[in-house]
Amino acid sequence: MKPQTPPSELSLALKPLMPVFKLAIGFSTVISLLMLSPTVYMKEVYDRLVNSQSAMTLAMLTVMVIAAYAMMELLEKIRSSILRSASMDLDLAL
C-alpha cells in the first residue's frame, strides 16, 4: 500500500479560491452566450426585416444588441476584477 502524501502548497493555496473560480466560470459562460448576439441580430435582420421593412423592429433589435454589448462589457470588467483579486490572494498565499 502506498503511503498518503500530503497536499502540495499550491493545492492548499488554491482550495479557498475555488468559489471564486466557479463564479468566474459562470461569468465566462454568460459572456460567451452574449457573444452570439451579433449573429442572432444579423439572422433576424436578413430573415425578417428585409421582407417586412419595419424600421421600428430594426431600431428595437439594434437597441437590444447594444444592450447585450454593454452587459457583456460590464460582466467582463467584473470578471477581470474578481480574477485579479483572486490572483493577488494566491500570490500572498504562496
Q: Do residues 61 and 41 make contact, with C-beta atoms less than 8 angstroms apart?
A: yes
Look at residue 78 and tell me if it is in a domain.
yes
In a domain? residue 1: no
Instruction: Indicate the number of domains in the chain.
Output: 1
User: Whose CA is closest to 15, among 7, 4, 6?
Assistant: 7
Mean pLDDT within 64-83:
95
pLDDT of residue 76: 95
3: in domain: no
Q: Is residue 9 part of a domain?
A: no
Say whether pLDDT at 1 is over 70.
no
